[in-house]
Amino acid sequence: MSQPRYIYPFEEGDGRDKMRLGGKGANLCTMMQIGLDVPPGFVITTDACLAYLDAQALPPGLMAEVRASVAALERKTGKGFGNAANPLLVSVRSGSAMSMPGMMDTILNLGLNPATLQGLIAQTGNPRFAYDAWRRFVQLFGKIAMGVPDDAFDAAMVTLKKKTGATQDVDLSADALSMLADDFLALYVAHTGSPFPADPYEQLELAIAAVFRSWNGKRAIDYRRQFRITPAMANGTAVNVCTMVFGNMGEDSATGVGFTRNPATGENAIYGEYLTNAQGEDVVAGIRTPKPIAAMAQEMPDLHSQLVALRDRLEAHYHEVQDFEFTIEKGRLYCLQTRNGKMNARAMVRTSVEMAQEGLVTMAQALLRINPMLLEQLLVPTLAPGHARKALAQGLPASPGAASGRIVFDADTAEQRAKEGEKVILVREETKPEDIHGFFAAEGILTSRGGKTSHAAVVARGMGKPCVSGCEAIHIDVRARHAEVGGTVLREGDIITLDGTTGNVYPGKIPTVEAEFFPELVTLLEWADANARLRVKANADTPADAVRARKYGAKGIGLARTERMFNDPARLPIVQEMILADTPEARKSALDRLLPIQRGDFKGIFTAMAGLPVTVRLLDPPMHEFLPTAAQLEYEISHLRTLPRMGRSIADLPETLRLIDPELPRDYVDSLGKLGQSLAEYRESKRDDAALVRREAMLKKVHQLTEVNPMLGHRGVRLGMTYPEIYEMQIRAIMEAAAECMLEGIDARPEIMVPQVATAEELKRVRAIVDAVRAEIEQRHGVRLHFNFGSMVEVVRACLRAARLAEIAEFFSFGTNDLSQATFSFSREDAENKFLPFYIETGILRDNPFEVLDIYGVGELMKLAVEWGRAARPDLEIGICGEHGGHPDSVRFCHDIGLDYVSCSAPRVPIARLAAAQAKLRVTGAKAAA
Ligand code: ADP
Ligand code: MG
Ligand code: MG
């Protein structure tokens, strides 16, 4: 068997074979083959690299192939490798299938030695240029091929500049550079213990081996681990040997880098920088300040138009924005590298739309080229670019966006200060459902505990407010009303800035820039809707949320949680009264007061969503969530109990104190007297008794309601079964709101959804309430109500009994948060606080199932439920309303298993819209390819 071919000249390599040629090599081949001006060269494959690493030696025959390839270069260029009269110089460049900054740098000007150096001087008549090339080569070869430390070279350069009075590299004369090169050579010998190799082939062989070794260098290995680059993505590095072209041959020479379009704005104009009379990395290294490419139109108009032509050819070929390197040697433009340009989200969107409009890409390509998660950046406020503030601490980026405000340590203070017109940031160890009014009031939320799916994170994301969670460096002392981070003390009222996109917390105020739906984003999302099968709805609990959901393009509300309305501080006392009620009558009286409030809420949402469906979920959480904790109540009760005793002691206090100090000042005694008196008044009015009685009753109820596993306890439809009057009130509120809307000509489209359903009988009983209330309201208002009745599917049994449930439910909505907990038998909080991080770090689980839908387990149950549900009711509408509904991979899965819609928090709606289009386009694309 003949040995594999290790070398491909740029004219022959297959540009699609990035695994073998590396990204840089593959594109050099392509550019050469489509007729762009690329200096001749060849690629040594990654196979050769792997063979070298395996055997710790260059594979047999490789150097013979290298010599033959160099000979071919000599023929193409008319120069000779090591030929003093007309020397061929090359660069040796690494390049794997994935771009990896951790890898080896490039050696330029290889082939120089004392003889070819003199040849170069004679040939160019430019000794300064030649010595400049020589000293660069000695340094690069020494550092990269032989590991001579950079500092040694840099120090020599600094000394020389001092000696000659030069401030910049370009100020150095030919003589100075010649001296520098001699210093460098001495350093080389001192560090390597051997003379600098003069034979160009020896230089080349050492350089190739060094590039191969760099694949297993620490930097490269760390980088691959960090970015999870597997051997399937990139295995070994290729080596590109490329004829040198010189941007440092005078004022008609230059080197530069460019983007075919502006990577920050997407504007369709060539963007980049160049330096005249410079080589290689001078532009990036910042040795001199480069000029914008626009300046070239004046300075070198002919070359500027050549550059524009190059840009057009690159885009026409790659159908993608390119990031390229070029060098101009004595008025001739060469392209040295190209790759797909990395852009920010805004530029991705604008270039997608414009390239499609220009006919450069199809609409499908325009939609597929954007990672949906990128859109998140566009829809939230961001910190004004260019701020130079240093972060105080970093937590988890739990909900994107940026905000500044004054620190408050509890929800009540947040609400109060916000009412006074202040911007506040709620800072807590962790948040609870009863903090909800604080979320409404705050600009952003910071917690010192909890993960990306903690209560704070989920609620903040739902409201589209920035949140940094789990910021463990911050120590909060709520009683003392201050927090401490790394020696800095933050007091209530101090201003901080949060960046929920990065997790950073800054002291003071940093200006932010608002997000906007710019025209290209609107167009792109319209295209997405036109190409998607899945509809995207939003989870929204208030009329304000609903308005925002519409703005983000939601096709309805897939989940309106009624309990969020219960938590409003004006209503909570009534809700508590309902819970504390001992008789059905007492409960009824509280419910009667809640009814008009809920009806108003629903009317608001239906109006904001007129013409689109609104799925209202009946009450779901366990009752105790609306009551204070037992610990809090016990604390308050013990204080109230000490009051009578305290009153007596204060009355006695002046006497007691006089025993110690007969001279006790008069006003001191008076004020103690006043205090005693007002305590006595409280006692007389029995207000302390009333407060005590209320709390004791509440505590009793809290004890009664205590459950070992509240999430698996008395909640959801189970509440509806035991306290049917609560569900009845909610159903009535929904229907009355719908009826009133109808009479006012508003197209309300309610859907009633029952949570936690496990058996058909539960659903049947709620349905019976629905039917009774409906009949009554239709008669009273003289209207015919149109609505759907359906079930959440979030209990394992519901999946298994889907056929039976579908006989009663007109729609299903997967509650994948609870369904994931139930399928894994993990309680989310415990899992995330205790073992889940370990599971993910050690690879027992690949992802957090509460962030990324587990399609293998939970997904199988969903598939069953879809299949069995539709078998019983072919037009069963099926959606998902868990947090997962806004995650692109989950959206794709939902498309694949045939759901009708996904519902997610409003800010995620655009992400889901794009993901839904991509899901369908990928399936169509795969079919077309098959
Ligand atoms: P990197 O991947 O770090 O950009 P490159 O191999 O592209 O490394 O090279 C580093 C610099 O040297 C770039 O500015 C590149 O344009 C320049 N360069 C590489 N090869 C040549 C060559 N044959 N002639 C002129 N400049 C070159
Ligand atoms: Mg490069
Ligand atoms: Mg649930």
Task: Tell me the pLDDT tens digit for each residue of 467-520.
Answer: 999 999 999 998 889 999 988 899 999 999 999 988 999 999 999 887 778 999
Q: Which residue minimizes the CA distance to atom 26 of ligand 1?
A: 280
**Sign of the torsion formed by the C-alpha atoms of 864, 869, 872 and 873:** negative
64, two tokens: 């013979």
Distance CA 474, CA 393 (A): 8
Q: Is the pLDDT of residue 40 over 90?
A: yes
Distance CA 553, CA 537 (A): 8
Query: Are 821 and 797 within 8 A, CB to CB?
Result: no
Q: Which residue of the set 29, 335, 437, 455 is catalytic?
A: 455
Query: Are 444 and 401 within 8 A, CB to CB?
Result: yes
Q: Is the pLDDT of residue 678 over 70?
A: yes
Q: Is the pLDDT of residue 180 over 90?
A: yes
Query: Are 739 and 777 within 8 A, CB to CB?
Result: yes
Closest ligand, as measured to the CA of 622: 3
Q: Which H or E run includes 363?
A: helix 363-368
290: Cβ contacts below 8 Å, ≥ 6 apart: 256, 273, 274, 275, 283
Q: According to the model, what pLDDT value does residue 849 have?
A: 93
Query: Are 259 and 323 within 8 A, CB to CB?
Result: yes
Per-residue pLDDT of 716-775, as tens digits, reads: 999 999 999 999 999 999 999 999 999 999 999 999 999 999 999 999 999 999 999 999
By percentage, how much of the chain surpasses pLDDT 70? 98
Distance CA 535, CA 904 (A): 11
Ligand 1 pocket residue status of 39, Cβ below 6 Å = yes
- For range 208-235, the mean pLDDT: 88
Q: Which residue of the set 49, 335, 467, 881 is catalytic?
A: 881
By percentage, how much of the chain surpasses pLDDT 90? 65
Per-residue pLDDT of 92-118, as tens digits, reads: 999 999 987 656 778 999 999 999 999
Distance CA 405, CA 490 (A): 13
Ligand 1 centre from 280 Cα, in Å? 5
Which of 92, 186, 90 minimizes the C-alpha distance to 144? 92
Contacts of 70-76 with C-beta under 8 Å, sequence gap 24+, read 70/201, 70/204, 70/241, 72/9, 72/42, 73/40, 73/41, 73/42, 73/241, 73/243, 76/40, 76/243
Ligand 3 centre from 586 Cα, in Å? 29
pTM of the full structure: 0.82
- State the residue for tokens 């962030």: 851
Ligand 2 centre from 337 Cα, in Å? 6
- For range 908-921, the mean pLDDT: 96
pLDDT band per the 50, 70, 90 thresholds, residue 646: confident
Per-residue pLDDT of 867-899, as tens digits, reads: 999 999 999 999 999 889 999 999 999 999 999
Which of 886, 887, 898 minimizes the C-alpha distance to 923? 898
Ligand 2 centre from 908 Cα, in Å? 36
783, two tokens: 């209207």
Which of 559, 623, 564, 565 minimizes the C-alpha distance to 595? 565
**Distances, alpha carbon 586 to alpha carbons 241, 276, 717, in Å:** 88, 87, 22
Among 155-169, 224-238, 856-870, the range of highest mean pLDDT: 856-870
Average pLDDT of every residue of the chain: 91
Ligand 1 pocket residue status of 336, Cβ below 6 Å = yes
Ligand 2 centre from 281 Cα, in Å? 8
Query: Are 422 and 443 within 8 A, CB to CB?
Result: no
Query: Are 353 and 524 within 8 A, CB to CB?
Result: yes
377 vs 391, residue with greater confidence: 391
Q: Which residue minimizes the CA distance to atom 6 of ligand 1?
A: 93
Q: Is the pLDDT of residue 213 over 70?
A: yes
Residues constituting the chain: 930
Ligand 1 pocket residue status of 89, Cβ below 6 Å = no
Ligand 1 pocket residue status of 93, Cβ below 6 Å = yes
User: With 0-12 CB in 10 A as exposed, 13-18 as middle and 19+ as buried, what is 900?
Assistant: middle
Residues facing 460 on adjacent strands:
none
Ligand 1 pocket residue status of 73, Cβ below 6 Å = no
Residues facing 600 on adjacent strands:
none
Query: Are 324 and 337 within 8 A, CB to CB?
Result: yes
Ligand 1 pocket residue status of 139, Cβ below 6 Å = no
The best mutation among 241, 287, 325 to test binding of ligand 1, ranked by most ligand atoms within 8 Å of the C-beta, falls on: 325
Least confident of 1-15, 775-789, 882-896: 1-15
65, two tokens: 């192939």
Q: Known catalytic residue: 455?
A: yes
328, two tokens: 């101009």
Among 225-234, 561-570, 884-893, the range of highest mean pLDDT: 884-893
Q: According to the model, what pLDDT value does residue 103 have?
A: 65
Per-residue pLDDT of 381-408, as tens digits, reads: 888 888 888 999 999 988 888 999 999 9
Query: Are 505 and 428 within 8 A, CB to CB?
Result: no
Distance CA 717, CA 697 (A): 26
Ligand 1 pocket residue status of 106, Cβ below 6 Å = yes
Q: According to the model, what pLDDT value does residue 664 have?
A: 76
271, two tokens: 């963007």
Q: Is the pLDDT of residue 354 over 70?
A: yes
Ligand 1 pocket residue status of 245, Cβ below 6 Å = yes
Q: Is the pLDDT of residue 3 over 70?
A: no
Distance CA 28, CA 314 (A): 12
Q: According to the model, what pLDDT value does residue 427 have?
A: 96
Contacts of 291-294 with C-beta under 8 Å, sequence gap 24+, read 293/256, 293/258
Least confident of 1-15, 350-364, 797-811: 1-15
Ligand 1 pocket residue status of 524, Cβ below 6 Å = no
User: With 0-12 CB in 10 A as exposed, 13-18 as middle and 19+ as buried, what is 653?
Assistant: middle
Distance CA 884, CA 515 (A): 24
DSSP-based three-state secondary structure for 370: coil
The best mutation among 93, 107, 112, 243 to test binding of ligand 1, ranked by most ligand atoms within 8 Å of the C-beta, falls on: 93
- State the residue for tokens 């897939």: 558
Q: According to the model, what pLDDT value does residue 34 have?
A: 96
Residues facing 558 on adjacent strands:
none
Distance CA 305, CA 20 (A): 35
- For range 900-916, the mean pLDDT: 95
- Within 10 A of 684 (CB to CB), how many other CB atoms are there? 9
Q: Phi/psi class of residue 78: alpha, beta or left (left: φ > 0; alpha: ψ in -120 to 50)?
A: left
Q: Is the pLDDT of residue 376 over 90?
A: no
Which residues are placed with Cβ below 5 angstroms of ligand 3, an ion?
A: 794, 815, 818
Query: Are 69 and 201 within 8 A, CB to CB?
Result: no
- Within 10 A of 442 (CB to CB), how many other CB atoms are there? 30
Q: According to the model, what pLDDT value does residue 1 have?
A: 44
Distance CA 885, CA 539 (A): 10
Distance CA 1, CA 3 (A): 6
DSSP structural state of residue 39: -
Q: Which H or E run includes 402?
A: strand 402-408
Ligand 2 centre from 3 Cα, in Å? 31
**Sign of the torsion formed by the C-alpha atoms of 124, 126, 131 and 137:** negative
Residues facing 393 on adjacent strands:
505
Query: Are 466 and 403 within 8 A, CB to CB?
Result: yes
Going through 235-364 in order, the beta strands assigned E by DSSP cover 238-243, 254-259, 271-276, 291-292, 322-329, 332-340
Q: Known catalytic residue: 881?
A: yes
